[in-house]
């Protein structure tokens, strides 16, 4: 038996229940992993609360990312062997001391990257990679707006966009967060709970506005985000930390300068194994070059998953959080 965090009914953080579970021997194409650290992501709260539809019925083990050591392999697995260090981003099932994973979802960890760093940064780093390099290609000199810049994905976006030569503007919820993002590559900060972020972006960019807005906040930043874009700019709505955008009006894209809008999801970008490997290689390369750092900002015991969710949802965290089994 191993420890895990199960959800039996949708609700607040209190529905995250610490239990003992059985883990079977790996089936064909599977590996069994002893997990050393589990990543905490905002998407985990959407599944816990029922905001996102479950791909199967209740109960389920929460968590969508982890890192650990392979302890057994199923038939047909040739890429991994016991003892390998791996990490993965999966649908659900990651808040556990051990689990089975489809081998084609795992990547080998390069040695400088620890289990904790991988759990803190793999999902968020993959997201930053495809947002900056694939959804829209950020180039030197572009004005880029990152909402919730002090968050897990936000901090990586700031570092990486800065490395690419962009002029990085970040919105944050407090002065402490503003200091943190400045130390992570953000050139200009906006306290969007106090200041009119659209007016500040106009002022900072001398009226030229931005080539792209990365918006993981959703409800409270829409439609202001569209007003931060210059002609033909890209509205990249990649999350809904404040609630989903309802009644998206496509006519606004025409009125505000022939804008583009997209709602990307990690699972589309890494659905093919070749893409998963290309994106993670690019991420590990960026880490190796020092373009981005995979820091652990908050660390909790696995049994304290509810506290981790409470902190994340109440905007009390910065950067990345992990659970340690
Ligand atoms: N599309 C994808 O594939 C994908 C992949 C990964 C993550 N995401 C999305 O990216 C976003 C960030 O994820 P993350 O895990 O890195 O979380 P996070 O940014 O560390 O946490 C969310 C942040 O959003 C801000 N926020 C604004 N309004 C909020 C509200 N009403 N309630 C809570 N937070 C609010 C807070 O920062 P301030 O205090 O500074 O406002 C908070 O710290 C989420 O929306 C997530 O769903 C999407």
325 residues of the chain, pLDDT tens digit each: 999 999 999 999 999 999 999 999 999 999 999 999 999 999 999 999 999 999 889 999 999 999 999 999 999 999 999 999 999 999 899 999 999 999 999 999 999 999 999 999 999 999 999 999 999 999 999 999 999 999 999 999 999 999 999 999 999 999 999 999 999 999 999 999 999 999 999 999 999 999 999 999 999 999 999 999 999 999 999 999 999 999 999 999 999 999 999 999 999 999 999 999 999 999 999 999 999 999 999 999 999 999 999 999 999 999 999 999 9
Q: What are phi and psi of 109, to 5 degrees?
A: -90, 130
Provide the sign of the torsion angle of the four alpha carbons 306, 309, 310, 316, taken in this order: positive
Q: Ligand 1 centroid to 271 CA: how many Å?
A: 23
Total-model pTM: 0.98
String of DSSP letters for 225-242: HHHTEEEEEEEEE---TT
How remote is the CA of residue 258 from the centroid of ligand 1, in Å? 27
Q: E strand or H helix at 181, and its extent?
A: helix 175-182
Atom of ligand 1 at shortest range from CA of 177? 40
3-class state of residue 141 by DSSP: coil
Cβ–Cβ < 8 Å for 210, 232: no
Return the ∠ at Cα 147 (arms to 210 and 134), rounded to 5°: 65
How much distance in Å is there from the Cα of 241 to the middle of ligand 1? 4
Q: Is the CB of 311 under 6 A from ligand 1?
A: no
Output phi, psi for 211, to 5 deg.
Answer: -80, -30
CA distance 71 to 120: 22
173 lines ligand 1 (CB under 6 A): yes
Give me ligand 1 centre to Cα 240, in Å.
7
**Run of H or E including 126:** helix 115-130
3-class SS at 8? coil
Distance 81 CA to ligand 1 centre (A): 36
Q: Whose CA is nearest to atom 9 of ligand 1?
A: 239
Please give the Cα distance from 164 to 145 (Å, whole number).
14
Atom of ligand 1 nearest to the CA of 46: 47
How do beta strands 2-7 and 16-21 pair? Answer: antiparallel
Q: Does ligand 1 come within 6 angstroms of the Cβ of 160?
A: no
Calculate the dihedral angle through the C-alpha atoms of 240, 243, 246, 251, rounding to the nearest 10 degrees.
-50
Does any ligand 1 atom lie closer than 6 A to the CB of residue 58? no
Report d(CA 132, CA 298) in Å as an integer.
25
Nearest to 155 by CA among 264, 295, 310: 295
Structure tokens at 127: 């997201």
Between CA 247 and CA 222 the distance in angstroms is 11
């Amino acid at each position: 038996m191993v420890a895990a965090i199960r959800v039996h009914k949708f609700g607040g953080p209190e529905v995250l229940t610490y239990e003992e579970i059985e883990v079977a021997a790996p089936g064909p194409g599977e590996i069994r992993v002893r997990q050393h650290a589990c990543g905490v992501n905002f998407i985990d709260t959407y599944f816990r609360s029922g905001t996102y539809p479950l791909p199967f019925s209740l109960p389920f083990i929460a968590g969508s990312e982890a890192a650990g050591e392979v302890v057994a392999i199923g038939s047909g697995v040739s890429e991994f062997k016991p003892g390998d260090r791996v990490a993965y981003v999966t649908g659900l099932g990651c808040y556990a001391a051990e689990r089975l994973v489809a081998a084609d979802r795992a990547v080998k960890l390069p040695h400088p990257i620890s289990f904790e760093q991988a759990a803190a940064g793999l999902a968020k780093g993959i997201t930053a990679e495809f947002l900056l390099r694939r959804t829209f290609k950020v180039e030197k000199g572009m004005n880029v707006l990152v909402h919730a810049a002090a968050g897990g994905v936000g901090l990586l976006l700031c570092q990486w966009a800065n490395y690419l030569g962009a002029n990085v503007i970040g919105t944050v919820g407090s002065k402490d967060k503003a200091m943190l993002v400045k130390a992570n590559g953000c050139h200009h900060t906006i306290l969007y709970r106090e200041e009119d972020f659209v007016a500040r972006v106009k002022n900072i960019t001398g009226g030229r506005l931005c080539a792209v807005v990365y918006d993981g906040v959703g409800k409270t930043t829409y439609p202001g985000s569209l007003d931060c874009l210059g002609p033909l700019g890209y509205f990249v709505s990649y999350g809904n930390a404040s609630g989903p955008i309802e009644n998206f009006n496509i006519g606004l894209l025409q009125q505000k300068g022939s804008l583009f809008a997209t709602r990307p999801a990690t699972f589309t970008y890494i659905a093919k194994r070749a893409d998963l490997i290309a994106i993670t290689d690019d991420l590990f390369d960026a880490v190796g070059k020092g373009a981005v750092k995979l820091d652990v900002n908050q660390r909790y015991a696995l049994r304290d998953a509810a506290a981790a969710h409470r902190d994340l949802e109440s905007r009390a965290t910065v950067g990345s959080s992990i659970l340690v089994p």
